[in-house]
């Protein structure tokens, strides 16, 4: 599974770079997973991401956190940071 995470991050990072964006978001990761054959995981993760985002806009149930929470699927990942880390990891496994 570790190799899969690196490959998914690299694919999402490539997409962001082509679109001239520096941040990988949850939708980019879901797209990458779909292109790599992880279709079985897409619908549950989309539902989770939608629920999370809905809860994020309404505020945290714990109070005080509200919109300060980050997207757990990666809204604040630097595409360049993970492209380099992911590629190094993937290459080290070959």
Domain limits of the chain? 1-56
pLDDT at site 56: 73
Q: Domain 1-56 in CATH: superfamily?
A: Histone, subunit A (1.10.20.10)
pLDDT of residue 11: 96
pTM over 0.75: no
Alpha-carbon distance of 24 to 15, in angstroms, equals: 9
Judge whether 60 and 66 are in contact, CB under 8 Å: yes
Give pLDDT, residue 40: 93
d(CA 16, CA 23): 7
Low-confidence ranges of the chain (pLDDT < 50): 62-69, 75-76, 79-94
Query: Under a CB-based contact definition with an 8 Å cutoff, are residues 13 and 82 in contact?
Result: yes
Amino acid 1: pLDDT: 66
d(CA 58, CA 85): 34
């Amino acid at each position: 599974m570790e190799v899969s995470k690196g490959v998914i991050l690299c694919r999402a990072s490539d997409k962001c770079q082509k679109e001239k964006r520096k941040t990988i978001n949850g939708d980019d990761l879901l797209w990458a997973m779909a292109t790599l054959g992880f279709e079985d995981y897409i619908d549950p993760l989309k539902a989770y991401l939608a629920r999370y985002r809905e809860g994020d806009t309404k505020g945290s149930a714990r109070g005080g956190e509200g919109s300060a929470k980050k997207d757990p699927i990666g809204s604040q990942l630097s595409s360049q940071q993970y492209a380099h880390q992911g590629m190094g990891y993937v290459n080290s496994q070959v």
